[in-house]
Structure 1
Amino acid sequence: MASPLPFEAGIESLKAAINTTNALRLVGLWVLYHIIVALYNISPLHPLGRFPGPKLAAATVAYEAYFDLIKGGRYSWEIKRMHEKYGPIVRINPFELHCNDPAFIDEIYAAGGRKRNKSPHTLESMSWPISITGFGTADHDLHRIRRLPMGKHFSRQQMLRLEPDIRHTLRKFVNKLLRYGADHPEPFDVAMAYSCFTSDVISEYSFGEPLGLLDQDGWEPNWRVPMYAFLRTTFLFRFFPVVKNLAEVGNIFARKGWMGPDIKMLMDTLLVHIPDRIEKTRADAEAGIVREREAVYLDIFKSTALPESEKTMPRLSGEGMALMNAGTDTSGWAITVMTYHVLSKPAVLARLTAELEEAGLNEDNLSWAALEKLPYLSGVIQEGLRLSYGVSARSPRIPTEEDLVYRGESKGEGKVEYVIPRGWAIGCSAAVMHHNEDVFPDSHTFKPERWFDEQGNKRRDLEKCLLSFSRGSRQCLGMSLAYCEIYLTVALLVLKVFPRMTLFETTEEDVKYDHDMFVPIPKDGTKGVRVVVA
């Protein structure tokens, strides 16, 4: 009788090893290991063992996963409850602290040479290609290298030079809004319209030409819908990162045309249009061609500060997608929130209109510099940013070369002092900080007046507590672009569009923060901020 082949013998040995008893032993060892780890996590031996917070949260990430995966992005609400019970610093998982004291923001989000890494746990929520961008980079030094060639393109000085281009696109958008309203009496979600505008602005500046979303008849497809579809994977990827390996299946489905038009547009943009535009920019740079309008990527290819290994197509396409995501939604949603509050409060619109008239500003002479000097308009914009949050999810940092010392007051304990050891994450959340009642009394109410004093001077102390664009060396790259865009847009809407725009079956619940999906999401079932333009 012939002896079994080696691989057949191996299979038989494997079958013998995999039996019920051995499987139970493996499960038992796995459970025992996690019990031991959990006990260590809540013991005084753990570096974060003395920080207050629920023991279950300190023991295992399952506590966090319950609120974000099972209850749907609601861990920020639980963190807020923790602060109310335990004080300004709380431990929210085995390796992360959370702070709700604005006085400590600049220590957590330090600038200059004070190194702050991003937390690997939060970065797990990002899949390719965002994971290889500057935004998705954990290491402080690598992030600095990746950010440097792009940074000067988003400075305030550069935005002042770009302002005429923004005004040109804005006029095109406003004219389309008015024309669309005249041709379509039915209500539409104004967030979709703002998304088309902000997408065309950031794409034109990044790649030298816009996506052309303002050239289509309506407001769809747009960038907002498919971006939100992808953001639904945030917590699944964070707690089950192996699932990210299946993301390529979605790419194949999109290329085959088996997904909706919005997803197809996003994938086509990521896999075809962005690489094509980047390649064209590369060819222009190599040929010495000078474009009439500046493009971010043209300078990236010319940069000697960025190694060639950082100029690969997958990485630069990822940066392009990151620019599109950030440049589209932060401004677009903020303007949407402001639109609701201005239209639902006639006194706010009347005061904005009067302020613009008193300043002698009209649609022909609007400028960012002039608009910034208007206290009430600035208050409306800051309050809109506060209640639109930017990124609502927490953004922890890891101090790598220094311990951080916190001194403050805790309810029931008086003065407290904590030493946050280097190598461990601590962060804040806009969704929590922006509702700190000690800083923003009656925080859920839209109050532009809170941002300036009786003399009309801006409240710089409050501005330091605004986390819509984060803070420190990793502050949002496009903050100046967003401010320029928002000031010009809100002012022109007040002058030309808002007098003809009315809300349709829209309430505050349609803009009010309900849960996280990395960005703030209103209640389920909302139909958006629907408006009619007469």
Structure 2
Amino acid sequence: MNPLLFLSWQQVAVTGILYLASIIVYRLFFHPLAKFPGPKLAAATRWYDCYYDVFLPGQYTWKIAELHKRYGPIVRISPHELHVNDPEFFKDLYCYDGRWNKYSWSYDAFGAPFSTICCADHDLHKERRAPLERYMSKANVERNRDIIQGLTFKLCDRIDEFHKDARTVNLGSALSAFVRDVATEWLLGKSFNNLDKEDFNSQMTAVFQGGGHVWRMTKHFRWFGPLMKSIPPSIIKKIGDKGAIDLFSFLDDMLVVTKETLSLFSTPTFDKKADDERSIIQAIVQSKLPPNEKNLTRVFDDVSTVTGAAFETTAAAIRLILFYVYSNPTLFDKLRTELASVASQGPNESVFELASLEQLPYLTAVITEGLRLSSGVATRQARIAPDRELVYDKWRIPMGTPVGMTTLLMHMNEKLYPDPERFVPERWMDPEMRRKADRTFAPFSRGTRNCLGMHLAFAEMYMVTAALVHRFEFGFDGASPAQVLAYSDEFIIGTKDRSGLKAYVTRRN
């Protein structure tokens, strides 16, 4: 007979209370992190994190900034995790030396356990990353620049339609559509033609901008993500809004593309040329990874996460850049004059070569300042040293402890960037300033886990910014910094106003 059957509910309740109390006492006084400063409630329970992450959606990044002002540069932000807000430590935490694991508690919440991006283990990540890194290299971006240039022309043609019809264009949605089309065509060899949609498929833009909600919920309620994934598509189509339906349809389409591509590569007659990779799927299949790393489930996790990571991160940066360029006539005129120096006349429109744009000092300064204010990720990126202690100042951090820094907070450090909330490209024209920022400017992170899509993102930003500034003038309709500046942690940057940048268009003669 089970003795638990003879316990009263009062005894069960007391036992439960004593158990929870013992956990709290251990975490506050005996845990290896008990000596580190921070709020006692954060040390005792993850509900502190959950409150700012879920119930005050995505606000823990900004709460952490407040905690550093109160407790100093190193803070215990949860029972198991530390956060550092000191630019001098960045080079030690995000480097190439040693083994660095990701914090699985955060990345498991994406529901893509076999992806490279979410892989926690250092060695496995290194193996999976190799073929993706080769495919997304600067050299390969340069070889495929025609894809970006062609879609840039298509974006301009679509915006021109709004000029001819004297209509306002939602520039925010148009830029998101452009980035999604570039990502899917370049990474998968297939375009989903977002730029062809009358409203630029704005529902999909809204879905990807607010997608961090599921991730935040799943971090704290581990059943939430699997529950969402378990809902049959047929039910989603009946009860979901248009954005949810479009998202599931998009994921289904990507799954079909992945299946078809894997099937094609398995045929004996397929000509497998290692120097002619046309998608990341091909890059994975033709790599030296073992067969179990090339099955549908594994590859699709990479497809969904890599393409998803390439969407709103880049679009958000371009939106911010264009908002500030077109809000400042002096800046706009200076940039347009510089662009005229490298524009070559094509059959119907001026053409810019990517290599020439990359040499323009003021355009580069504008893009760099845009990335400072709109770095790809708004959340902390914890790293774990699995085999050694870390040392920060007088603190010895126990082996295996998740330690994070937040690029957004570092980029807003007024000692590094005076008047940090202002958009000032001129700060990057100073060679001494650029030299000082070399170790701490990290919109794509640093080290072994830096962003795979960095070179693609730079190419998109250079080419689109140049084409639009050279060709159009925009007058924003009720736009404000709330539509472009970081306000919430959606893993990527979330803005307070997600209505897009609505603008009147004037075509340059």
Please, what TM-score do these two structures have when normalized by structure 1? 0.88
Aligned to 1:17: 5
TM superposition shift of 1:403: 1.6
Q: d(CA) in 1 for partners of 2:50 and 2:245?
A: 30
Q: Which of residues 293, 296, 299 in structure 1 aligns to 2:280?
A: 296
Q: Which of residues 195, 212, 216 in structure 2 aligns to 1:231?
A: 212
The C-alpha deviation readout for 1:429-472, integer Å capped at 9, x for no partner, is 1232121111112111111111221xx68714324323321211
Larger-gyration structure (1/2): 1
- 1:317 matched to 2:289? The reply is no
Aligned to 1:194: 175
Q: Which of residues 92, 107, 127 in structure 2 aligns to 1:145?
A: 127
In structure 2, the CA distance between the partners of 1:529 and 1:236, relative to structure 1 (3 Å rule), is same
Alignment of 1:173-212 (within 5 A): 173-183=155-165, 185-212=166-193
In structure 2, the CA distance between the partners of 1:57 and 1:199, relative to structure 1 (3 Å rule), is same
Q: Which of residues 118, 125, 130 in structure 1 aligns to 2:102?
A: 118
In structure 2, the CA distance between the partners of 1:477 and 1:367, relative to structure 1 (3 Å rule), is same
TM superposition shift of 1:239: 0.7
Q: Which of residues 278, 283, 289 in structure 1 aligns to 2:263?
A: 283
In structure 2, the CA distance between the partners of 1:182 and 1:60, relative to structure 1 (3 Å rule), is same
Q: Match for 1:533: what amino acid?
A: V
Q: d(CA) in 1 for partners of 2:392 and 2:26?
A: 24
- 1:503 matched to 2:476? The reply is yes
Structure 1 window deviating more from structure 2 (223-232 vs 316-325): it is 223-232
TM superposition shift of 1:82: 1.4
Match of 1:179, SS?
helix
Aligned to 2:46: 61
In structure 2, the CA distance between the partners of 1:236 and 1:213, relative to structure 1 (3 Å rule), is same
Structure 1 window deviating more from structure 2 (174-183 vs 135-144): it is 174-183
Match of 1:506, SS?
coil
Runs of 5+ consecutive residues of structure 1 not aligned to the other structure: 1-9, 408-416
Q: Which of residues 384, 399, 410 in structure 2 aligns to 1:433?
A: 410
Alignment of 1:246-265 (within 5 A): 246-253=227-234, 256-265=237-246
Alignment of 1:406-421 (within 5 A): 406-407=392-393, 417-421=394-398
Q: d(CA) in 2 for partners of 1:88 and 1:122?
A: 22
- 1:465 matched to 2:440? The reply is yes
Match of 2:416, SS?
coil
Q: Which of residues 475, 483, 488 in structure 1 aligns to 2:463?
A: 488
Q: d(CA) in 1 for partners of 2:441 and 2:9?
A: 52
What percent identity do the matched residue pairs reach? 30
Match of 1:299, SS?
helix
Q: Is the 8 A contact 2:237 2:245 kept in 1?
A: no
Q: d(CA) in 2 for partners of 1:180 and 1:306?
A: 48
Q: Which of residues 396, 402, 408 in structure 1 aligns to 2:382?
A: 396
Q: d(CA) in 1 for partners of 2:243 and 2:300?
A: 19
Q: d(CA) in 2 for partners of 1:406 and 1:198?
A: 39
Q: d(CA) in 2 for partners of 1:464 and 1:191?
A: 31
Q: d(CA) in 2 for partners of 1:434 and 1:257?
A: 44
- 1:351 matched to 2:338? The reply is no
In structure 2, the CA distance between the partners of 1:351 and 1:98, relative to structure 1 (3 Å rule), is same
Q: Match for 2:45: what amino acid?
A: T
Aligned to 1:327: 310
Runs of 5+ consecutive residues of structure 2 not aligned to the other structure: none
Q: Which of residues 183, 190, 195 in structure 2 aligns to 1:214?
A: 195
The C-alpha deviation readout for 1:65-121, integer Å capped at 9, x for no partner, is 111122221111111011112222111111111111122112212215x11111122
TM superposition shift of 1:381: 0.6
Q: d(CA) in 2 for partners of 1:166 and 1:33?
A: 58
Q: d(CA) in 2 for partners of 1:452 and 1:402?
A: 40
Q: Is the 8 A contact 1:40 1:46 kept in 2?
A: yes
Match of 2:25, SS?
helix
Please, what TM-score do these two structures have when normalized by structure 2? 0.92
Alignment of 1:21-40 (within 5 A): 22-40=8-26
The C-alpha deviation readout for 1:179-216, integer Å capped at 9, x for no partner, is 23423x44343221111111111111122121121233
Q: Is the 8 A contact 1:199 1:223 kept in 2?
A: no
Aligned to 1:97: 82
Q: Is the 8 A contact 1:155 1:480 kept in 2?
A: yes
Aligned to 1:7: none
In structure 2, the CA distance between the partners of 1:27 and 1:255, relative to structure 1 (3 Å rule), is same
- 1:521 matched to 2:502? The reply is no
Aligned to 2:428: 451
The C-alpha deviation readout for 1:161-184, integer Å capped at 9, x for no partner, is 11122111211111112123423x
Aligned to 1:367: 353
